Structure 1
Amino acid sequence: MDHERGDRRRWLVLAVGMFAMTSGCAFQFGLPYLIPALLDEGLSLSGAGLLAACPTAGLVLTLTAWGAAADRWGERWVLASGLGLGGLVLLAATAVRGTAGLGACFLLAGAAGASAHASSGRLILGWFPARERGLAMGLRQTSLPLGVAVAALLLPPLAAHGRATALAVLGGLSVGAALLVAVAVRDPARPGGGEAGGQAGNPYRTPVLWRLHGAATLLVVPQFTVSVFALVFLVDERGWSPSTAGPLLACVQVAGAGARLAAGRWSDVAGSRVGPMRRLAWTASGVLAVLAAGAFSGSAVAVAALMAAGVVTVSTNGLSFTAVAEYAGPAWAGRALGVHTTVQNAVAACVAPAVGALIGAAGYGWAYAVVVAFPLVAAAVVPLHEKSAGSTSRAGSTPRRLSVPAGAAVRSRPPSGPDAGGGQSE
């Protein structure tokens, strides 16, 4: 009976965590859909891109600290407090008029909402066995494209009633998600009575985590190049109206969410996170090459390639997060996921202004051509294989042990067991 309740509880925790992530991501990564409204206010494309990058800059400042807090005190209140504070800042931003003040609000809201990225992944590590973890993390990672899809649907029409209206809706979503987390989420059981952090070794003593961080960060560049400027490309280069392009791009984000889910399930079946990650990186490079060629020639194929690139460039995120969490183990997962998301968002914060300047100087074709190289390098950086920090075999390759529910596993096994993040041999 307890086992059945645990099974039901883990899916509820995942669903609430997904809603929380979606609400946060609608603001953190959906602000590019306010760029046309910001341009109407007199900002340049690079200036509007800089404002859109402020939330990701805020994420960079606090992700590792939020992860350490989740490792020490648990996921529930870290997730709820960060999202709630971020939502309140957004609500306060509705009264801000100056560009500098608005940028500061976006920075603070991003810093607070970073708790969702650092803590929700830990929930999956604790509640789900490894044979389901790729699927669960894939579902969790769909929150980013779903959040951007929500922004694509809501922000263009809301902005027609004023920027303050759009920000009020985004702030309300974050506050509502925080309240739901506080009511519905429970932290998973922890190994060693919560003292695992002092017993497990540092997973950064081997190169595996560093290579996973590096490869995932390289893949951020094409992802954000496509997503940040997709609307502007369709409006400026193809002559579409924002109200037409927005719903189409929302569909692309939904398809991207499905791609993350499929990639996670693929990794569970294959027993590896890094093999699918490498193949998807190669695919992304090919699609980006077609997009660049279409942009150079002005061909309609550029639109189809843009849609495909919007799907494939986001498909690897769940794989890298799952691999990082599994390798780090419960004692280090919050910090490792915080570092992982920090380096990704540090680069993401630079993509919008840098690529915006490149587009202004050389055009979309050259911008897309330049980023073709990033997935190729990422495929070379991805580790050839991954093992957990507790010296376990590859994900999914020990079905007898992985059949135990995550919550029961940490109660019944000592901290040196496969799911507890013990030793550090690769």
Structure 2
Amino acid sequence: MREEQGGRQRWVVLAVGMAAMTAGCAFQFGLPYLIPALRDGGLSLGQAGLLAACPTVGLVLTLTAWGAAADRWGERWVLASGLGVGGLVLLGATAVRGTVGLGVCFLLAGAAGASAHASSGRLILGWFPARERGLAMGLRQTSLPLGVALAALLLPPLAVHGRAVALAVLGALSVGAALLVVLFVRDPARPEAGTGAGAGNPYRTLVLWRLHGAATLLVVPQFTVSVFAFVFLVDERGWSPSTAGPVLACVQVAGAGARLAAGRWSDVAGSRTGPMRRLALTASAVLAVLAVGAFAHSVAATAALMAAGVVTVSTNGLSFTAVAEYAGGAWAGRALGVHTTVQNAVAAGVAPTAGALIGAAGYGWAYAVVVAFPLVAALVTPVRVEAASRPTPPRGGRIAPESGLR
């Protein structure tokens, strides 16, 4: 009975953590859907774009600090306080008129809401045993596309009634998520000092650095494909915008499914990095087909683009799970903060760099260049370290919650 109650509790924690991260992502990554309303308020496209980027800047600046706070004081109050403060800042932003003032509000709200990225992943490490953790982290990773989808649905119609209304709803979502965390989330049992994967500084070996590096390399093809997929279909393949949009929305849904499937695969295989390496090699092969199709102006490029949109996002949950498991309970928050910070910093530079390459040489060369990134990621991924050091499961196949990559 106690085990059954614990099983229900951890899925409740996951559901609330996903809701919290979805609410945070709706603002942090969905603000571009307010750009038309910001321009109607007298801002130039450049000014509106800069405001839309402010939450991501705040996110990058504070992720590691929030992770360290979760390691020290626990996930529940760190997650709730960050989302609550971020929501209150957004509610206050409804009364701000100047561009600079709005930018400061968006920066501060993004910095506060970053707590969701570090704490929600750490909750999964503590609450879920290794046999379920890959699937749970895959579910957690779907919060980002869910948040963007929520923003796409809510913000354009709300902006018709004024920018302040849209910001008020975003703020209310964050405050509401914070209240849910306070009511329903409980911190998992913390590891005793000197035990588990968190004993000592995990950065003294190369394993975490290799995990960060491999996952960051995989960000490059992911964003190269996703950022320019719509424009490629419209400009190069002659699709209408009304057709390309829904099709790419289906690709996003399929990508979320691929994250879940990869997580479940890793649970069954007892390895995060083995499936991660195989998916990286698959992504490289698909990108090669995409590049050849783009050079030849072939219909194969369209099919390869859809496949690339799915496979390039499939490893996201695996890398987060591997990082959390190797870092252990004492370091997981900081390690996940570093992981997300590096990925977001690199992602911010992908769009302008890939856009410049496409403008100068065309889509074929851009896709051909990024073929190398998942290949290198596959080489960097520390599969042998995991295989050599994974503890042998006790009788019955159950693995202790803190076990995993070493």
TM-score range, shorter chain: 0.7 to 0.9
Task: Show the counterpart of 1:188.
Answer: 188
What SS does the corresponding residue of 2:264 show, helix, strand or coil? helix
What is the CA-CA distance between 1:380 and the residue it aligns to? 1.2
SS at match of 1:385: helix
Q: CA deviation at 1:67?
A: 0.7
Q: Deviations over 1:146-204 (max 9, x none)?
A: 22333344445555665555444333322221111111111011122x7869x821111
**Residues 235 and 241 in structure 1, CA contact (< 8 A), matched pair in contact too:** yes
1:340 matched to which residue of 2?
A: 339
Residue 403 of structure 1: SS of its match in structure 2?
A: coil
Is 1:43 aligned to residue 38 of structure 2? no
Matched, 1:250 2:249: yes
**Quick one: structure 1 residues 404 and 269, their matched pair in 2 at CA, closer, same or farther if it must change by over 3 Å?**
closer
Paired residues of 1:3 and 1:405 also in contact (CA < 8 A):
no
Question: Matches of 1:301 and 1:31 in 2, distance apart?
Answer: 34
How far, CA to CA, are the matches of 2:85 and 2:241 in structure 1? 31
| Cα separation, partners in 2 of 1:179 and 1:306, compared to 1, 3 Å | farther
Query: What is the CA-CA distance between 1:25 and the residue it aligns to?
Result: 1.9
Q: Structure 1 vs Structure 2: percent identity of aligned residues? A: 83
Contact 2:34 2:159 in 1 (8 A): yes
Unaligned runs of 5+ in 1: 407-418
Aligned to 1:274: 273
Alignment partner, residue 316 of structure 2: 317
**What secondary structure, in the 3-state scheme, does the structure 2 residue paired with 1:277 have?**
helix
Q: Describe the superposition over 1:49-98 as per-residue Cα deviations: whole angstroms up to 9, x where unpaired.
A: 65544333222211111111101111011111112222233344445555
| Matched residue, 1:7 | 7
Tell me, in whole angstroms, the C-alpha distance in 1 between the residues paired with 2:30 and 2:80: 21
How much does 1:242 deviate? 5.8
- Tell me the SS of whatever aligns to 2:313: coil
Residue aligning to 2:82: 82
Moved more, 113-122 or 102-111: 102-111
Alpha-carbon distance in structure 1 between the residues aligned to 2:39 and 2:276:
37
Other-structure match for 2:144: 144
Q: Distance in 1 between matches of 2:236 and 2:86?
A: 35
Tell me which residue corresponds to 1:26.
26
- Counterpart selection for 1:393 from 382, 390, 397: 390
Name the TM-score, length of structure 2 as normaliser.
Answer: 0.86
Matched residue of 1:187: which SS?
Answer: coil
The whole-number CA distance in structure 2 between the counterparts of 1:305 and 1:48 is: 33
C-alpha separation in 1, matches of 2:152 and 2:225: 14
CA distance in 2, matches of 1:79, 1:201: 25
**Alignment RMSD:** 3.3
CA distance in 1, matches of 2:378, 2:39: 37
Could you give the per-residue CA deviations for residues 404-423 of structure 1, whole angstroms, max 9, x where no partner exists?
Answer: 774xxxxxxxxxxxx289xx
Whether the 8 Å contact between 1:129 and 1:402 is mirrored in structure 2 is no
**Shift of residue 48, structure 1, vs aligned partner:** 6.4
Q: Is the 8 A contact 1:263 1:316 kept in 2?
A: yes
2:293 touches 2:300 (CA, 8 Å); kept in 1? yes
Match of residue 208 from structure 1: 207
Q: Is the 8 A contact 1:141 1:318 kept in 2?
A: yes
State the Cα distance separating 1:16 from its structure 2 match: 0.8
2:126, 2:257 → 1: CA distance? 24
2: CA distance, partners of 1:155 / 1:240: 26
Q: Distance in 1 between matches of 2:150 and 2:112?
A: 20
Structure-2 separation of matches of 1:30 and 1:350: 18
Listed as ranges, the gaps of 5+ residues in structure 2 are none
Change (3 A) 1:167 1:96: same
Alpha carbons 1:54, 1:349 under 8 Å: kept: no
State the match for 2:58 in structure 1.
58
Conserved 8 A contact 1:153-1:247: no
Q: Distance in 1 between matches of 2:299 and 2:95?
A: 42
Q: Which amino acid aligns with 1:250?
A: A
Q: Sort the Cα spacing of 1:169 and 1:254 in 2 relative to 1 into closer, same or farther, 3 A.
A: farther
* Counterpart for residue 263 of structure 2: 264
Q: Does structure 1 conserve the Cα–Cα contact (< 8 Å) formed by 2:130 and 2:403?
A: no
Contact kept? 1:71, 1:332, Cα under 8 Å: yes
- Secondary structure at the aligned position of 1:117 is classed as helix
Give the superposition deviation at 1:289.
3.1
CA distance in structure 2 between the aligned counterparts of 1:53 and 1:61, rounded to whole angstroms: 13
Cα distance in 2, alignment partners of residues 169 and 243 from structure 1: 28
Partner AA of 2:398 in structure 1: S
Q: Which residue of 1 aligns with 2:132?
A: 132
Given that 2:258 and 2:310 are in contact with CA atoms closer than 8 Å, whether structure 1 keeps it comes out as: yes
Alpha-carbon distance, 1:112 to partner = 1.2
Q: Provide TM-score, normalisation by structure 1.
A: 0.82
Residue 416 (structure 1) aligns with: none
